[in-house]
Amino acid sequence: MIGQAVALKSDVPFPPEVGDFYLPSIVPWGGLDSLWFTKITALVWVSTAIIIIFFTLAYRKPKLVPGKAQWIAESTYGFVRNNIAIEMLGARGVRFAPYLATLLLFIVFNNMWSIVPVAQISPNSHIAFPAFLALISYVLFNYVGIKKFGFRKYMRNSLIPPAPWFVLPILIPIEFFSTFLVRPFSLAVRLFANMFAGHMLLLVFTLGGFAMLQANTALAPISVLSWLMTIALTLLELLVIFLQAYVFTVLTASYIQGAVSEEH
């Protein structure tokens, strides 16, 4: 590959590749390629620990008039509860609010690693994590729908839109495809691709600066421009972190809403 040729010539690995997303094992039980304890899984554990510690500490002794930490914890949950769960599902949304809030927090904190110095890579740029989250959402909305209507009625609600009979042979496969096949994939891939691309962009502009500097010192101003781009993209990434977490949560809520509503 040309990139490898450049990299060999200049010591800077440019352009970045998929392999850059797979870092060596930290504690190599099964050799360097063991995947049980890598930077990625470590980050997942750390973000899980941060959320648990913060929320249990902030809510150890809840008061009617909250302190700062309690207020932050409550606002986070209250946001998901009122602005996502109740907004989309009505009063019955309160039941789903705890899961949706947990989901949002898990995604936000794991996304956050993509711009935290030293970490600089989000676990969600590995499709494994978005994939199982999407799978849970998929199972959840189907389970809720089937539990409410029974399997046959749920399928009828989901697959047969109120349309003239002669278009049904086209519509039913489309509905089936979009509801039962595409939804989990789109959920997973949307999050994964955003985080993957974000990391890739940051790599390109950061390493690109170094690569140019090493190739020719005269290119230094462009290197600086490249690094400034990195900063700008980091800010963009911050937006993407929250946006994608929000989108994932809202879509999950919307799928649940679709499953439990009478009308298609």
- Residues binding other proteins (CB under 8 A): 7, 13, 17-25, 32-33, 35-36, 40-41, 44-45, 48, 51-52, 55-56, 59, 62, 64, 73-74, 77-78, 94, 97-99, 101-102, 105-106, 123, 126-129, 131-133, 136, 189, 192, 196
185-200 burial, b for 16+ CB within 10 Å, e for fewer? Answer: eebbbbbbbbbbebbb
What are the tokens at 228?
Answer: 């400034």
> Which of 144, 113, 137 lies closest to 126, judged by CA?
113
For residue 156, the minimal CB distance to other proteins (Å) is 32
> Whose Cβ is closer to other proteins: residue 22's or residue 151's?
22
* Shorter beta-carbon distance to other proteins: residue 55 or 255: 55
Peptide bond before residue 173 is cis, with ω within 30 degrees of 0: no
The alpha carbon of 123 is separated from its chain's Cα centroid by a whole number of angstroms, namely: 9
Based on its alpha-carbon atoms, the radius of gyration of the chain, rounded to whole angstroms, reads 23
Pick the closer one to other proteins by CB: 197 or 235.
197
C-beta of 89 vs 158, nearer to other proteins: 89
Which CB atom, from 41 or from 254, has the smaller least distance to other proteins? Answer: 41
Tokens, residue 104 = 């949002």
- Please state the closest distance from residue 36 (CB atom) to other proteins, in A: 5
Q: Taking the complex as a whole, how short is the minimal distance between the CB of residue 66 and other proteins, in angstroms?
A: 8
- Considering the complex, what minimum distance in angstroms separates the CB of residue 219 from other proteins? 22
- 8 Å CB contact between 69 and 58: yes
Min dist CB 47 to other proteins, Å, is 8
Instruction: Check: CB of residue 211 under 8 Å from CB of residue 10.
Output: yes
